Amino acid sequence: MNQFPNLFTPLQINSMTLPNKMALTAMVTRLSGTDGFVNQDIVDRYMRFAAGEVGLIVVEASAVHGAKSGQLLRINDDEFIAGHRDMLQQIHDSSPSKVALQIIHFLKIARSGWRQTVKMLDKDDIQAIIRQYGEAAVRTRDAGYDAVELHMAHAYTMSSFLSKRSNKRNDEYGGGSLETRMRMMTETVLKVRSMVGPDFPIGVRFDAEECIKDGYGLSESKFIGLRLAQLGVDYISLSAGGKFEDAIAAEGEALYPYTGYSGDRAMPPATYQDGANVYMAAGIKAFINEHGYHTPVITTGKISTPEMAEEILQSGQADMVGFARALLADPDFPKKARLGNPDKIVRCIYGNVCKQLDEKFKKVTCTLWLRHGLNVPMADPEDVEGPTWPNGGDVKANLRQNGRVRVEWESAEDAHGVYGYEIFRSANGAAYEHLSSSSTNRFTDQNALAGNSYQYMIKAYDFAGNRSVESEPVTVEIPLPVPIDGDHLRITQP
Ligand SMILES: Cc1cc2nc3c(=O)[nH]c(=O)nc-3n(C[C@H](O)[C@H](O)[C@H](O)COP(=O)(O)O)c2cc1C
Ligand code: SF4
């Protein structure tokens, strides 16, 4: 039996049967042009995810309206359907993955710092947006997608209506109560359902916590989840934060909603604990279940291993596990877990280079990939041999000033090519911890503290994720910077 039985139990969502409970949550790629058409780079990117067999692929946010934007997919006109249809055909012909399209409406934003707000929309604008969601959902269905996902998270129109902080309207769509904040969402879901029919799966993604001052938290979002369940949506995908309100302005640039604290909560960086947002899904799932609804809930946010994903499902904290960056780093993550090779997964290091590329409207790639590549290369399935060290893995480490250690190592060798290196550290003889990974053979440890002895060890990996044996370790003793010998402050070495 597979070691991840919950992950690999199929899941029925309305008319769609997912082969496993792993979802690629939407991730803007900036691979399309500003014309918004599906192009070959987009097809290649999603075909690569599909080759890794993730149960549900949610294709990146695609505009329901014709507003100007940078590179972003569009679904606001029938002319966009054919490109999506071709891509879907190829994915379905080659992979068990099911595919949803995330559809989005966003308000205008200028480099000057001006932003359109929901308060500036009149009733006709609101009705037009609701209609645009309905029409875009129909195009999604007609293009051959297995589901549509309504984007109601982060800094965009739907989320701003839901927001406790940014909905400053004072009418029936306004911030007066949770009911009025939810009216836009409610009418949109009803409209989409009436247009796509009862059998076509509708998912909704929203923020379980806004993660900004005066924003809503779990105490309210559980009612948003309940409303969605009562409206008959087919799955709920939870995100967090990603707001304009705390975004950090850059001179001459349009505000990017993932630069502040709430941006970190949306895409938790390496400094955050794994599964940083799982408690939100657990709270919402428990609440809607208590009310007799079993709408599947997807949790996302720095879930880095299949072991952790399995535990989340096993403990009933969510019904599906979402991954974005872990799958960008290694699209074969699901397949490797299915085949019992989780130790071959190339680990995301959560340094958020991909997020910075998105911010700058550059093609979104991963820092661990080959330079200039637009995808992870397909590995040779016959390749089971890990890289080798010509000299046993010669590692050198130099103590730099102020708590930094520069680690360098010899290049490994592999018949199919070396892909990258994992850096491990043991402190004072304790077990080795994975510090980071690198596509080069250099790394600087920024957290080497005086008064400790560190051992560094490297493993190389190839394109199939096969690991080398451990390199020779290197030890660095870091003396305390000044003898601390006062009566009231003494550090004793163990
Ligand atoms: C480059 C990038 C683009 C993203 N684009 C979207 C998007 O289009 N829609 C969305 O709902 N979330 C988007 N996200 C958020 C992810 O879906 C996900 O919720 C987040 O990265 C946390 O999950 P992770 O820790 O598994 O990466 C994006 C994230 C990244 C890194
Ligand atoms: S760029 Fe960094 S954070 Fe993004 S997927 Fe790659 S390793 Fe993960």
Report which ligand 1 atom has the smallest distance to the Cα of 300. 23
Residue 171 lies in a domain: yes
Residue 376 lies in a domain: no
Residue nearest to atom 7 of ligand 2 (CA): 348
Residue 87 lies in a domain: yes
For residue 175, give both structure tokens: 């911030």
Contact 358, 364 (CB under 8 A): yes
Q: Is the CB of 302 under 6 A from ligand 1?
A: yes
Query: What is the domain range of residue 456?
Result: 395-478
Gap between the Cα atoms of 219 and 327, Å rounded: 31
CATH number of the domain that residue 337 is part of:
3.20.20.70
Q: What is the best residue among 237, 267, 360, 368 to mutate for testing ligand 1's pocket, by most ligand atoms within 8 Å of CB?
A: 267
Q: Tell me: pLDDT of 486 over 70.
A: no
Residue 34 lies in a domain: yes
Task: Specify the pLDDT at position 400.
Answer: 84
Residues 173 and 224 placed together within one structural domain of the fold: yes
Residues 401 and 354 placed together within one structural domain of the fold: no
Residues 124 and 219 placed together within one structural domain of the fold: yes
What mean pLDDT, rounded, does the chain reach? 95
In this prediction the pTM is 0.96
Least confident of 7-21, 301-315, 341-355, 393-407: 393-407
Report which ligand 2 atom has the smallest distance to the Cα of 325. 5
The domain boundary, picked from 359, 379, 414, lies at 359
Residues 346 and 461 placed together within one structural domain of the fold: no
Alpha carbon of 427 to ligand 2 centroid (Å): 26
Q: Tell me: pLDDT of 18 over 60.
A: yes
Q: Is the CB of 355 under 6 A from ligand 1?
A: yes
Q: Tell me: pLDDT of 485 over 80.
A: no
**Interval 112-146: pLDDT, tens:** 889 999 999 999 999 999 999 999 999 999 999 99
Residue 2 lies in a domain: no
CATH number of the domain that residue 427 is part of:
2.60.40.10
CA-to-CA separations, 282 to 13, 22, 25, 147, in angstroms, rounded: 19, 17, 18, 24
Q: What is the best residue among 325, 362, 438 to mutate for testing ligand 2's pocket, by most ligand atoms within 8 Å of CB?
A: 325
Residue 368 lies in a domain: no
Alpha carbon of 84 to ligand 1 centroid (Å): 21
List all residues whose CB is within 6 A of at least one atom of ligand 2. 325, 328-329, 348-354, 366-368
Confidence band, pLDDT 50/70/90 cuts, at residue 2: confident
**Interval 262-305: pLDDT, tens:** 999 999 999 999 999 999 999 999 999 999 999 999 999 999 99
Alpha carbon of 29 to ligand 1 centroid (Å): 10
The domain boundary, picked from 359, 377, 407, lies at 359
Residues 416 and 267 placed together within one structural domain of the fold: no
- Residue 244 or 481, more confident: 244
Task: Specify the pLDDT at position 481.
Answer: 66
Q: Tell me: pLDDT of 210 over 80.
A: yes
Confidence band, pLDDT 50/70/90 cuts, at residue 490: very low
Q: Is the CB of 254 under 6 A from ligand 1?
A: no
Task: Specify the pLDDT at position 493.
Answer: 42
Percent of the chain whose predicted confidence (pLDDT) is above 90: 90
Q: Is the CB of 193 under 6 A from ligand 1?
A: no
Residues 449 and 301 placed together within one structural domain of the fold: no
CA-to-CA separations, 285 to 56, 198, 339, in angstroms, rounded: 19, 23, 30
- Report which of 262, 211, 248, 253 is spatially closest to residue 109, judged by C-alpha positions: 253
Residue 484 lies in a domain: no
Strand-pair partners of 406: 398, 444
Residue 234 lies in a domain: yes
Alpha carbon of 243 to ligand 2 centroid (Å): 21
Q: Is the CB of 29 under 6 A from ligand 1?
A: no
Gap between the Cα atoms of 245 and 240, Å rounded: 14
Q: Tell me: pLDDT of 363 over 70.
A: yes
Q: What is the b/e burial string over 230-267, where b = at least 16 CB atoms within 10 angstroms of the residue's CB?
A: ebebbbbbbbbbbbbbbbeeeeeebbbbbbbebbbbbb
Confidence band, pLDDT 50/70/90 cuts, at residue 491: very low
With helix as H, strand as E and coil as C, how does the chain read? Answer: CCCCCCCCCCEEECCEEECCCEEECCCCCCCCCCCCCCCHHHHHHHHHHHHCCCCEEEEEEEECCCCCCCCCEECCCHHHHHHHHHHHHHHHHHCCCEEEEEEECCCCECCCCCECCHHHCCHHHHHHHHHHHHHHHHHHHHCCCCEEEEEECCCCHHHHHHCCCCCCCCCCCCCCCHHHHHHHHHHHHHHHHHHHCCCCCEEEEEEEECCCCCCCCHHHHHHHHHHHHHCCCCEEEEEECCCCCCCCCCCCCCCCCCCCHHHHHHCCCCCCCCCCCHHHHHHHHHHHHHCCCCCCEEECCCCCCHHHHHHHHHCCCCCEEEECHHHHHCCCHHHHHHCCCHHHCCCCCCCCHHHHHHHCCCCCCCCCCCCCCCCCCCCCCCCCCCCECCCCCCEEEEEECCCEEEEEECCCECCCCEEEEEEEEEECCCCCEEEEEECCCEEEECCCCCCEEEEEEEEEEECCCCECCCCCCEEEEECCCCCCECCCCECCCC
- Strands 418-427 and 98-104, by their bridges, are unpaired
The domain boundary, picked from 337, 359, 381, lies at 359
Residues 278 and 179 placed together within one structural domain of the fold: yes
Residue nearest to atom 8 of ligand 2 (CA): 348
Ligand in nearest proximity to the CA of 353: 2
Q: Tell me: pLDDT of 492 over 50.
A: no
Alpha carbon of 327 to ligand 2 centroid (Å): 9
Residue nearest to atom 6 of ligand 1 (CA): 27
Which residue shows structure tokens 């019904």? Answer: 319
**Interval 323-336: pLDDT, tens:** 999 999 999 999 99
Task: Specify the pLDDT at position 402.
Answer: 79
Residues 408 and 319 placed together within one structural domain of the fold: no
Q: Is the CB of 109 under 6 A from ligand 1?
A: no
Alpha carbon of 189 to ligand 1 centroid (Å): 22
Residues 241 and 332 placed together within one structural domain of the fold: yes
Residues 185 and 291 placed together within one structural domain of the fold: yes
Alpha carbon of 453 to ligand 1 centroid (Å): 38
Residues 408 and 347 placed together within one structural domain of the fold: no
Residues 40 and 145 placed together within one structural domain of the fold: yes
Which residue shows structure tokens 């900036």? Answer: 30
Report which ligand 1 atom has the smallest distance to the Cα of 325. 27
Q: Is the CB of 323 under 6 A from ligand 1?
A: yes
- Residue 489 or 11, more confident: 11
Report which ligand 1 atom has the smallest distance to the Cα of 357. 1
Looking at the 3D structure of the chain, how many domains does it have? 2
Alpha carbon of 239 to ligand 1 centroid (Å): 9
Task: Specify the pLDDT at position 347.
Answer: 97
Ligand in nearest proximity to the CA of 321: 1
**Interval 213-267: pLDDT, tens:** 999 999 999 999 999 999 999 999 999 999 999 999 888 888 999 999 999 999 9
Ligand in nearest proximity to the CA of 329: 2
Gap between the Cα atoms of 236 and 203, Å rounded: 6
